Amino acid sequence: MKKAWMAGVAMAVIAAAAAQGQTDEMRARFRTELAGSFPAEAREALAGIPVGAETPVALLPIHGDADGWLEGQLKIALTDAGKNCVEGRKDPMWRVILDELAWERKKEGFLDPESIAALGKLQAAKVLVSGAVRQTAVSDRRWRGEVELHATDLETKRHLWGRWFTYPKQTSRPQPVATEARSPLNVGLDVRTLKGAQKVPDELETWLTGRLADLGYRLGTGKDDDLTLTLELESEMYDRTGEYETHRGEAKATLEVRGAEGRVLGTQAFDAKGVPGEGPSAGARNLAYALEEQLGAWLKRSLDPSAIGFESTRLDFTLAGPTEKGADYQALAGLQKAIEGMTGVRHVRLLAQDTEAGTVSYRVTYEAAAFPGGLLNALFAAHPELVDDYLE
């Protein structure tokens, strides 16, 4: 029992340390973001407070600014904005009033009528700038920071000015979160000679390569083929008259689906006789022409998308940041697993990954009928957490 209790305490300590580590990292990233753009933005914004250059303006402690860094930046920004920034802390009433208001225990640094009345006892300041800074972890990879500022006239208790700054800037993202682009299916081509002259398969292979491209397919390399087209050939010389030869041949075409759900989509046998040609090469070429005429119609029918039933697409993702830590790689594995787990997805392959840019691309083959609105839409509908957890 004691061991279990000690183990529980140890786990709690580890979890608290991990959470603190994430908080410290988030705070450091927020500080870096603020140091880059906030001073200039604050100076421009504070210049808009509708008071003259002689009006004393004091800055209250900023809630959430534990070490006073942001307060210092705001003092500089107030001065640079042409305002008469006075040190309210030097007034003898400053500490008394803040103690009276229990300022550090307030949830927000903004002024209610009671607070304004108390602060009105200050001798130097005529306008007070109050505010708060907040940091929110959207996920273990993303964060959001806000700085909210207000200016209040102590005498009239009137709110004069307010601004809200958010970070990181959403416009900094160079490209969309994810894109989808149709990718051609890969067809492996296997032309075999069972009997006869070699010229016929050479001619047919060249023709088939072009025909596949015309139909919107890509000649595969065997590694990532979606389909295999096999052509088995037999040919012989049928007749010779002088220098002219007539060739006759047979071809058996088979179209198969590759992968775990492999199946034969279609098979067809053809026989043809070419017109006479001068010499063996011309005779073989004319036989190939005759076979091509029959193969063309069959290929168009067999490779029609409605007959195939599945498609291929390229998915490009921009992650929330560079791939640097183990958790980032786990996020990538989770993204691929989410795609692979969708009903109707046949195959997922990593195409490219840029760890510094935080981008990754996949080629996905899927059943077209399962995703009428597109694969990417279906992915985000099934896994909305992907946007917050992995993407910007």
The sheet with strand 359-367 has its strands ordered as 178-183, 310-318, 359-367, 345-354
Residue scoring higher pLDDT (195 or 216): 216
pLDDT, tens digit (0-9, with 9 covering 90-100), for 268-277:
998 888 888 8
Mean pLDDT score, 35-43: 84
pLDDT, tens digit (0-9, with 9 covering 90-100), for 135-155:
776 555 566 788 999 998 888
The mean of the pLDDT values for the chain is 78
pLDDT given for residue 49 in this prediction? 93
Residues of the chain with CATH 3.30.160.180: 184-308
Which range has highest mean pLDDT (85-89, 135-139, 235-239, 369-373)? 369-373
Computed on alpha carbons and rounded to an integer, the radius of gyration of the chain in Å comes to 37
d(CA 93, CA 124): 10
pLDDT given for residue 172 in this prediction? 45
Residues of the chain with CATH 3.40.50.10610: 2-169
Q: Which CATH number fits domain 184-308: 3.40.50.2000, 3.10.20.90, 1.10.8.50, 3.30.160.180?
A: 3.30.160.180
d(CA 359, CA 178): 10
What are the distances in angstroms from CA 303 to CA 115, 221, 294, 296, 300?
Answer: 77, 18, 15, 11, 5
d(CA 81, CA 43): 5
pLDDT, tens digit (0-9, with 9 covering 90-100), for 372-384:
888 988 988 888 8
Confidence of residue 97 (pLDDT cuts 50, 70, 90): low
CATH topology of domain 310-389: Alpha-Beta Plaits (3.30.70)
Confidence of residue 12 (pLDDT cuts 50, 70, 90): very low
Q: Judge contact between 51 and 156, C-beta under 8 A.
A: no
Mean pLDDT score, 271-296: 86
Q: What is the DSSP letter of 342?
A: S
pLDDT, tens digit (0-9, with 9 covering 90-100), for 175-192:
557 888 888 999 988 888
Tracing tokens 């088939």 back to the chain, one arrives at 208
Question: What is the phi/psi pair of residue 177, to 5°?
Answer: -60, -45
d(CA 302, CA 12): 62
The domain over range 2-169 is classified in CATH as 3.40.50.10610: yes
Residue 358 has pLDDT above 60, yes or no: yes
Instruction: List helix spans (H) across 153-257.
Output: 199-214
Residue 326 has pLDDT above 90, yes or no: no
> Roughly how many angstroms between the first and final C-alpha of the chain, as a whole number?
45
Residue 227 has pLDDT above 70, yes or no: yes
Mean pLDDT score, 4-11: 36
For residue 198, the SS3 value is coil
Residue 7 has pLDDT above 50, yes or no: no
pLDDT given for residue 61 in this prediction? 82
Among the residue ranges 40-49, 93-102, 271-280, 335-344, the one predicted with the least confidence is: 93-102
- Encode burial over 128-155: b for 16+ CB neighbours within 10 A, e otherwise: bbbbbbebeeeebbbbebebbbbbbbbe
Percent of the chain with pLDDT over 70: 75
pLDDT given for residue 47 in this prediction? 92
Residues of the chain with CATH 3.30.70.100: 310-389
pLDDT given for residue 15 in this prediction? 36
d(CA 201, CA 191): 6
d(CA 330, CA 333): 5
pLDDT given for residue 388 in this prediction? 60
pTM above 0.75, yes or no: no
pLDDT given for residue 88 in this prediction? 72
Residue 225 has pLDDT above 50, yes or no: yes
